[in-house]
Amino acid sequence: MFGLKATRIDCCIKGCMLFYDNEYGKNDGHLLQCKFCHKTRYHDPKVGTSKRKLIPMKTMFYLPIIPRLQRLFTSMQTVGQMIWHYDNRRPSGVLRHPSDGQAWKNFDQVHPDFAAEPRNIRLGLCYDRFNPYIQASAKPYSCWPVTFLLKCAC
Amino acid sequence: MLRPYMFLSCLIPGPHNPKARIDVYLQPLIDDLKKLWSGVQTYDVSRKQNFMTRASLMWTINDFPAYGMLSGWGTQGKLACPYCMEHTKAFRLEHGKKNSWFDSHRRFLPNTHTFRKNKKAFTKAKVEMGGPPSMLTSEEVYHTMKNVPTIIDEPHLSKLPGYGEWHNWTKRSIF
C-alpha cells in the first residue's frame, strides 16, 4: 500500500544547492550547473562511451516522512501507541513522558486546534555526525544522518 | 523509545562538515513538514475512517556543535552560551588566554539559595544578586533575523557585522 521509497537528490559538490523541484516554487531539477558556484552537476562522461548514464558528483538520500507517518496508522499494533499520551494522562507533578513537560503544555495552549486531535503527531529531530569508515583515518569522512522521533508514542 | 517510532529521514553525505549549509540539505524535509502542519489525509485502521493528521516539530535533539548549526547562534567563542547570549558573564583568563565561563551559573539559582551568598567557593568576595537572562521568544528571534538572507538564497553568506562582538548569529535558521 505504501511504498516506503528512498529518493536520491543530487546536490552541488560544495553544498550550495539541491537539484530538485518542490511545490513551493523551487524549480532547479533540470539545472546542470550550480546556481551559485557554477560547479557542474555530473562527472564528465568518458570519451568514447556515448551511451553512459550521467554520474552525479554528490547525492543525498531523502526518505519521505509522510508515508512513514501514515503507515503507523494502518497497523493495529502501532495505532494504539499513537495516542498513548492522550489515554495515559498523569496527574500534574509527575514527570514521566514529554507530554508532562512545560513545553508540551504551552504548545497546547498556543495551538488549541492542534491539541484537540490526539492523533496529531509531535516530532523530535535528532541530528548528529558519524564517521562511516575508519575512526582514526587520516582523511575522516563525516556523514550526517537526520532522524525523527515520535514524541507521542511511548 | 521503540524502533517503529523512530526513522531515518535524511542522509547528508560528506566528506566535509556542511556547517551552516546544513539548511540546504534540510529543504525537502521542511517542505514535508509544511505539508504536515496543514494536514495530510490518513487512514486510521482502528476507527476505519480517513482523517486529517497534522504534525509539528517540537524539539531538536543534538550535541552542542550541531546545536550551533541548526539554531544559527554560533557555539564558539565568548558568546557561545545560547541561553545567556549577549548577556554572558564569560571572561578571558589573563595568562591562559582562554575563555572561561567560571561562576556564570549562580544567577540561575533561586533567589534565596545559600550558594548565592557564598564568598569563598566561587568568585572571591562576590555575592551573586542578579537573575537569569530573559528568554527570547520566537517573535524576538524573528525580528532580529528577518533582514538576514537565508542560507538557501545565499549559501556563501559572509560573517554578519558584529559577529563575536555583540552577537553570535551566523545565519537565519531554516526552521
Q: How many CB atoms lie within 10 A of CB B54?
A: 20
Chain B hits for A24, CB-CB cut-off 8 Å, are 31, 34
Chain B hits for A23, CB-CB cut-off 8 Å, are 31
Question: Residue A19, by phi and psi: left (phi above 0), alpha (psi -120 to 50) or beta?
Answer: beta
| C-alpha cell, B25 | 540539505
Tens-digit pLDDT profile for residues B32-49: 888 888 888 888 887 888
8 Å CB contact between A20 and A28: yes
Closest alpha carbon within chain A to B44: A73
Q: How many CB atoms lie within 10 A of CB A149?
A: 18
B42-71 residues touching A, CB cutoff 8 A: 42-46, 51, 53-63, 66, 69-70
**Cβ contact A139–B15 (<8 Å):** yes
8 Å CB contact between A59 and A8: yes
Strand-pair partners of A146: A127, B10
In the numeric block, the cell 525580528 is attached to B143
Distance CA(B27)–CA(A67), nearest Å, equals 18
Higher pLDDT, B130 or A49: B130
E strand residue ranges, chain B: 6-12, 40-44, 49-53, 55-62, 91-92, 99-100
Chain A hits for B137, CB-CB cut-off 8 Å, are none
- Predicted local confidence at residue A50, as pLDDT: 67
| C-alpha cell, A5 | 521509497
Strand-pair partners of A21: A27
Chain A hits for B3, CB-CB cut-off 8 Å, are none
**Cβ contact B54–A117 (<8 Å):** yes
- Predicted local confidence at residue A2, as pLDDT: 55
- Predicted local confidence at residue A29, as pLDDT: 80
| Predicted ipTM > 0.90 | no
Q: Closest by alpha carbon to A125, among B144, B72, B55?
A: B55
Chain A hits for B26, CB-CB cut-off 8 Å, are 146
Please report, in tens digits, the pLDDT of each residue of chain A (154 residues total): 457 888 888 888 888 888 888 888 777 888 888 888 888 888 887 776 666 778 888 888 888 888 888 888 888 888 877 877 787 777 777 788 788 888 888 888 888 888 888 888 888 888 888 887 776 667 778 888 888 888 776 5
Distances (CA, A) of B72 to B65, B83, B148: 11, 13, 11
- Which phi and psi (to 5°) does residue A123 adopt? -115, 150
**Cβ contact A60–B12 (<8 Å):** yes
Distance CA(A74)–CA(A80), nearest Å, equals 11
Q: Is the four-CA dihedral B76, B141, B21, A33 of positive or negative sign?
A: negative
Is the previous residue joined to B110 through a cis bond, with omega within 30 degrees of 0?
no
**Cβ contact A141–B59 (<8 Å):** no
Task: Fill in the DSSP letter of residue B108.
Answer: G
Distances (CA, A) of A66 to A6, A24, B49: 12, 17, 18
Residue B66 banded pLDDT, cuts 50, 70, 90: confident
8 Å CB contact between B18 and B12: yes
B43 → closest Cβ in A74, A103, A141: A74
Burial class of residue B141 in the structure, from the number of CB atoms within 10 Å of its CB (0-12 exposed, 13-18 middle, 19+ buried) = middle
Preferred mutation among B36, B38, B41, B46 to probe A, highest tally of A CBs within 10 A: B46
For the stretch B87-93, contacts whose Cβ atoms lie closer than 8 Å and that sit 24 or more positions apart, written own/partner, are: B87/B133
Chain A hits for B62, CB-CB cut-off 8 Å, are 126-128
- Predicted local confidence at residue B95, as pLDDT: 92
- Predicted local confidence at residue B1, as pLDDT: 59
Distance CA(B57)–CA(A125), nearest Å, equals 7
8 Å CB contact between B107 and B132: yes
Q: How many residues are there in chain B? A: 175
8 Å CB contact between B123 and B117: no
- Predicted local confidence at residue B45, as pLDDT: 80
Strand-pair partners of B92: B99
**Is residue B78 scored above 80 in pLDDT?**
yes
Task: For residue A125, give every residue at least 6 positions away whose Cβ sits within 8 Å of its Cβ, in sequence order, or none.
Answer: A146, A147, A148, A149, B57, B59, B60, B61
